[in-house]
Amino acid sequence: MLMERLNSNKSFGGLQQQFEHDSKVLNCLMRFSVYLPPQATNEHKVPVLYWLSGLTCSDENFVQKAGAQRMAAELGMAIVMPDTSPRGDDVVDDEAYDLGKGAGFYLNATQEPWAKHYQMYDYVAYELPALIEANFPVNNKRAISGHSMGGHGALTIGLRNAPRFTSISAFSPIVSPLNCPWGHKALTHYLGDDQALWVKYDAVELMKKIKGDTSNLPPIKVDQGLADNFLEEQLKPHLLLNAANQVNYPIELNTHSGYDHSYFFIASFIDEHLQFHARHLFK
Amino acid sequence: MLMERLNSNKSFGGLQQQFEHDSKVLNCLMRFSVYLPPQATNEHKVPVLYWLSGLTCSDENFVQKAGAQRMAAELGMAIVMPDTSPRGDDVVDDEAYDLGKGAGFYLNATQEPWAKHYQMYDYVAYELPALIEANFPVNNKRAISGHSMGGHGALTIGLRNAPRFTSISAFSPIVSPLNCPWGHKALTHYLGDDQALWVKYDAVELMKKIKGDTSNLPPIKVDQGLADNFLEEQLKPHLLLNAANQVNYPIELNTHSGYDHSYFFIASFIDEHLQFHARHLFK
């Protein structure tokens, strides 16, 4: 598979890099960023945390603003940061910030004009990990995390693919597209009006369907700022907590007074997320 | 003095804020950012590290990319980040990235058309600290640091104002404008052709003039990446080290293989700089 390196910077003894490749799933050129800790060599392959960013972001926001490289270097964990939608002049867009480019919602679109390129679910769950594992000194231990729309992506991709990802975490996630305006708008456009087709992209609905022994399912950690302007209308993390408690799913929801929806919140608690994933990735 | 708060985000238990104020020295509205650690209260005032950014930066680059808030919160140190030049439609500019807006070089311009606004030396050394100490829960213990052009600013302002700043540090600094193309261009425009008038803005020349007991002068810490594209032509930190050794000035120069001129280098070593300053600020 064609892959070109665009940038490489030494960071905390490891390498922060950016690549471009030709995605078959998305039918376009895609960029992603990867942090390789100093421990990663062909003789010593390291596990990978996939980080999914939120609305309007590219692969670069988390790289520059989260400060995650320090702890990733300490733990010996790679981080892979995909873009948030297909890109390029051939890809259909919308002028709104919450639809089209920068707003792929990590799902496989079925509706026109979106279906040709907007297949972010398959890209993040399968195509990108295969590319990473074929080309970088990483093993097949994977965890997944994200912010806001990316938290939605991490929860839905993680829940639907156990045990493909050993652990799942999210900052300020959209936990139920069925129950918020961002979700209704995006899923109507990408999936159509039949809400029965939305449930596989709704973490709360996925959680409700879980049955039996949950002790070996990937544990979930969610952090939420209480000064987040989107908390009441869009995020509603208690819906996920309630559904998880009903099925005895391993979950922790931590709330933090005074913190908002910004990367300043993510940076303040990213170390704890990396440590959470390390406990499962290195088990 | 008029001062308006533009942003405030909780960060590592403290507050990352941005303000705008009317600078008398610069004759324009100026923005600055400040990080207040959780320890800072009117009953417990904290010391301040002034951070000076490099060419093309504003007050926001360090805020977003350095990851300094974590250690500042741990140490109980405020960080103040000024802009790199006067700003606004009334301020003369140049189309080059290394002259005019974003390239104030932390000096007091004497030449037209620059002199009316480009007085960054007085702004950083005096006006801004007075504003900060009158309006925030900080004491009058100050340290100064910076990157590239901002490293030049930290070294020259720190050396000329001992003991106003207790310690000085720099990443990848321009140590001698007299001996590099960036310096020649900027100082010719801002100060004129007479190089005798440049020496007070040249850290190496300032160092050469130091006489007598240096043990109570502010110690200097410099870090330099060896994969920095600007190292040989523009930065030349050995000139400062040699001059400091001649006068027995307390200095450490640390070089780091593989690191470049980017914020990834700064982020990798900013904790050590904050710890260095804390040893002197809290003495």
Cα gap B106→B187, rounded to integer Å: 11
Name the token pair of B161. 């104002």
Rounded to the nearest angstrom, the minimum Cα separation between B226 and chain A is: 11
Is the pLDDT at A69 greater than 80? The verdict is yes
What's residue A33's pLDDT? 98
Tell me the mean pLDDT per 10 residues along chain B, length 283.
91 98 98 98 97 98 98 98 98 97 98 98 98 97 98 98 97 98 98 98 98 96 98 98 98 98 98 98 93
CB B220 within 8 A of CB B251: yes
Q: Does B229 touch chain A (CB under 8 A)?
A: no
Q: Does A6 touch chain B (CB under 8 A)?
A: no
Nearest CB partner across the interface for B260, out of A10, A69, A265: A10
**Catalytic residue chosen out of the listed positions A59, A98, A223, A228:** A228
Contact yes or no for B57/B63 (Cβ under 8 A): no
Q: Is B262 close to A9, i.e. CB distance below 8 A?
A: yes
> Pick from A16, A67, A264: which is nearest to B16 by CB?
A264
Chain A: closest CA distance from residue B269 (Å)? 8
Please identify among residues 36-75 of chain B the ones whose CB lies closer than 8 Å to any CB of chain A. 64-65, 67, 69-70
Q: Is B55 within 8 Å of B173 (Cβ atoms)?
A: no
Q: Is A148 among the catalytic positions?
A: yes
Asked about B193 being catalytic, the answer comes back as no
pLDDT at B279: 98
* Reported ipTM: 0.96
Which of B64, B259, B260 shows the shortest C-beta gap to A65?
A: B64
Nearest Cα of chain B lies from the Cα of A102 at a distance, in angstroms, of 20
Question: To the nearest whole angstrom, how far is the Cα of B242 from the nearest Cα of chain A?
Answer: 28
Q: Is the pLDDT of residue A63 over 90?
A: yes
* Nearest alpha-carbon partner for B53 in B146, B129, B175: B146
Cβ count within 10 A of residue B210: 17
Residue ranges of E strands in chain B: 3-11, 14-23, 28-36, 46-52, 78-82, 138-147, 168-171, 220-225, 251-256
Contact A10 B69 (CB under 8 A): no
Helix (H) or strand (E) holding A74: helix A69-75
CB-based contacts of B214: which residues, under 8 Å, 6+ apart? B247, B248, B249, B250
pLDDT of A242: 98
Domains parsed from chain A with CATH numbers: 3-282 (3.40.50.1820)
Q: Is B273 a catalytic residue?
A: no
What pLDDT, on the 0 to 100 scale, is given for residue A283? 86
- pLDDT grade, residue A2 (50/70/90)? confident
In chain B, the residue whose alpha carbon lies closest to the alpha carbon of A11 is B264
> Among A64, A67, A258, whose Cβ lies nearest the Cβ of B10?
A258
Whole-number Å distance between alpha carbons of B159 and B149: 15
pLDDT tens per residue, range A202-234: 999 999 999 999 999 999 999 999 999 999 999
A62 → chain B, closest CA residue: B65
Identify the pLDDT of residue A223. Answer: 98
Which of the following is catalytic: A147, A189, A261, A277? A261
What is the model's pLDDT at position A1?
55
**The predicted structure's pLDDT at residue B1:** 55
State the DSSP string of A147-190: ETHHHHHHHHHHHHTTTSSS-EEEES----GGGSHHHHHHHHHH
Whole-number average pLDDT of chain A: 97
Catalytic residue among A148, A167, A172, A176: A148
> Mean pLDDT over residues A39-60, rounded?
98
Alpha helices in B39-180, H assignment, sequence order: 60-65, 69-75, 120-122, 128-135, 149-160
Cβ neighbours of residue A48 under 8 Å, at least 6 residues apart? A77, A78, A79, A80, A129, A132, A133, A138, A139, A141, A142, A143
**Closest residue in chain B to residue A64, using alpha carbons only:** B65
Whole-model pTM: value is 0.97
What are the two backbone dihedrals, phi and then psi, of residue A267, each rounded to the nearest 5 degrees?
-60, -35
